[in-house]
Amino acid sequence: MSKPLSYSDKPWLRVYEEAGLPYEFEYPEIPLFELIDKAARECPQSKACVYLEKEYTYAEIKSLVDRLATALSKRLGVKKGDVVGVQFPNSPQFIISVYGALKAGATVSLFSPLLPLPELEYELQKSGAKVMLMGDTRLEEVKSIKEGTKLEHIVVSSLRDYSAKEPELKDVPGAIQLRKLIAESEPDPPALELNPKEDVALLFFTGGTTGVPKGVMLTHYNLTTNIIQTFGPTAAGMLEPNKGNFSVMGCLPFFHIYGFTCAMNMAINWAGCLLLVPDARDSRMIYELLVKYHPLFMPGVPTQFMRLMQEKNVDLSELRGCVPFSGAAALPPEISKKYEEKAGVLVSEGYGLSETSPVTHSNFVAILKGVGLDLGLPVKVGSIGIPVPDTEVKIVDIETGTKEMPVGEPGEMIIKGPQVMKGYWPNPGDGLRDGWLYTGDVAKMDEDGYFYIVDRTKDMINVSGLKVYGRVVDDVLFEHPAVANAATIGVPDPERPGSERVKIFIQLKEGYEPSKELEEDLIRHCRERLPPYAVPKFVEFRKELPLTVTEKVFKRKLREEEIEKMKKAGLL
């Protein structure tokens, strides 16, 4: 009798072997900014980015990066280990600021341009940023909180700077103009002694949707390694032949780790051209860039693919040859199938976390199939794929986190690998248990080594002691023809303390209107596909569902609103 399959058997390695994909790599110990230097060295005249109808080569971007690094170190006093904040939408300013600060020896702290002021003040205080490079639209807000932070200098840039319609430079009281700072400096960055495995390149805050944000510390090595882990297995068939001559859709916010690694750094590593979209919600701009430049990759989030399918006068069949892949939030299988029907290519799903640089799982088989390389292996829709190279993954019990679950059974997913963070700011090791990161996600693995996300542990719904996984209900709802977007939450049950009831929030497709009949049809649809205890008790139609800055449905906000309403009604 053979012993049961376990996670230590790493069944996913068989997928690599059957597909003929490499799963062992050497990871060079280099600073992250070496990516820009290498691209400019090897492909100086290749396009680095396109921004509001203006194109830049790698030689031009490197010169701007080097000039900013010189200015930061020699004029603004930035030295190794200082924190420099960057708060720009996707733009040349973002790329120049990040790589320029890194070349000055700084740790870069990323801030969302959409961050509410109290949260921005909190993160600025916690990071200890010495310099802030940011868009000029929020300058007065940052000046109002500067006194409570360690900020010494604020450097600003207009959204139209570095575009085809660049505005005339004007002095800004209380700040330095980025373009002027760069123009007045020579490309003479300081010589640095870095330890890529120990020195923190990136600091950013996560967990704002579930609690107090924590600062994630990612080293140069974490970030450069994750590019190779994520794209190395498919590089020989896709990236190496196109080096210096391909483009990547840059519609994911680069201030989020998914866009930072899987769009920006990936493109730069192979000297690709970034198609920069400042507003992640601008489906029209995304579509027009897709049609004009035919990028090789479009990393996105589910809401972006949904919007593209809903955009008027859009022919997704024009996007053949562009490989879409999704992350950051659960991708309903129905959305992937519908996109494939319209665009002729499946949206594959991967998985990662801020704490893992971010990628830990990828659906390599589906990605290669998207460019016509059929490996003869099944594409498992609904799966986040298999672990990327040199990544260990286990499923453990939710209660103690110490007992491995049998293969096929759900539990909390834990991860170990070279992409796992150094720890939460400012303490190395904080947030890890013996090197393992506990993800907070409920997942399961099949016998082929493919993983499936079931739910967030915080999103599990307790119905009289029975577990209901919100993502499972969401996926069922997306199969209904009227549903454009959906979110399932648990609300307290006043009649059974400690228990919850299932409530769904529905955003309807164009042509459908809220009605009692449609509400009953949604309940019937769920009743036919779910166990009785998981069938929703309440339905609420919304014109739009609340989204986080990274385009995830903001379930915590929906729960908080429901609890507040119940308190006002005297039910709690």
Q: Tell me, what CATH number does 155's domain have?
A: 3.40.50.980
Question: Is 13 domain-assigned?
Answer: no
Q: Single out the residue in 202, 218, 234 at which a domain terminates.
A: 218
Q: How far apart are the first and last CA of the chain?
A: 55
HSE of 572, CA atoms in CB hemisphere, 13 A: 14
**Rounded-to-integer distance, Cα 351 and Cα 327, Å:** 6
Q: Domain count of the chain? A: 2
Count the neighbouring beta carbons within 10 Å of the beta carbon of residue 384.
26
**Rounded-to-integer distance, Cα 192 and Cα 399, Å:** 46
**Rounded-to-integer distance, Cα 337 and Cα 9, Å:** 32
pLDDT of residue 186: 96
pLDDT of residue 550: 65
Q: Which domain holds residue 514?
A: 460-568
Length of the chain: 572
Q: Single out the residue in 203, 218, 233 at which a domain terminates.
A: 218
**Rounded-to-integer distance, Cα 511 and Cα 525, Å:** 19
Question: Is 340 domain-assigned?
Answer: no
The first and second tokens of residue 231, run together, are 């794209």
Helix, strand or coil for residue 365? helix
pLDDT of residue 396: 96
Question: Is 290 domain-assigned?
Answer: no
Question: Is 146 domain-assigned?
Answer: yes
**Rounded-to-integer distance, Cα 57 and Cα 557, Å:** 43
Question: Is 443 domain-assigned?
Answer: no
| φ/ψ of residue 156, rounded to 5 | -120, 160
**Rounded-to-integer distance, Cα 239 and Cα 265, Å:** 13
Structural Rg of the chain based on CA atoms: 24
Question: Is 299 domain-assigned?
Answer: no
Q: Single out the residue in 218, 239, 273 at which a domain terminates.
A: 218
CA distances from 159 to 86, 163, 178, 217 (A): 14, 8, 12, 28
Question: Is 117 domain-assigned?
Answer: yes
CA–chain centroid gap for 395, Å, is 23
State the DSSP H helix or E strand holding residue 210, giving kind and residue range, or none if neither.
none
**What is the model's pTM?**
0.85
Contacts of 455 (CB under 8 A, 6+ apart): 441, 442, 469, 470, 471, 472
Question: Is 317 domain-assigned?
Answer: no
CATH number of the domain that residue 520 is part of: 3.30.300.30
pLDDT of residue 465: 66
Query: Edge-to-edge strand order for the sheet containing 386-387?
Result: 351-352, 359-362, 386-387
**Rounded-to-integer distance, Cα 391 and Cα 144, Å:** 44
Of 123, 119, 170, 267, the C-alpha closest to 132 is 123
Count the neighbouring beta carbons within 10 Å of the beta carbon of residue 312.
7
CB contact at 8 A, 96 and 61: yes
**Rounded-to-integer distance, Cα 347 and Cα 473, Å:** 20
Helix, strand or coil for residue 176? strand
Q: Which residues of the chain have pLDDT under 50?
A: 1, 208-210
pLDDT of residue 159: 95
CB contact at 8 A, 465 and 476: no
The 10s digit of each residue's pLDDT in 276-306 is 999 988 999 999 999 899 999 999 988 888 8
CB contact at 8 A, 361 and 385: yes
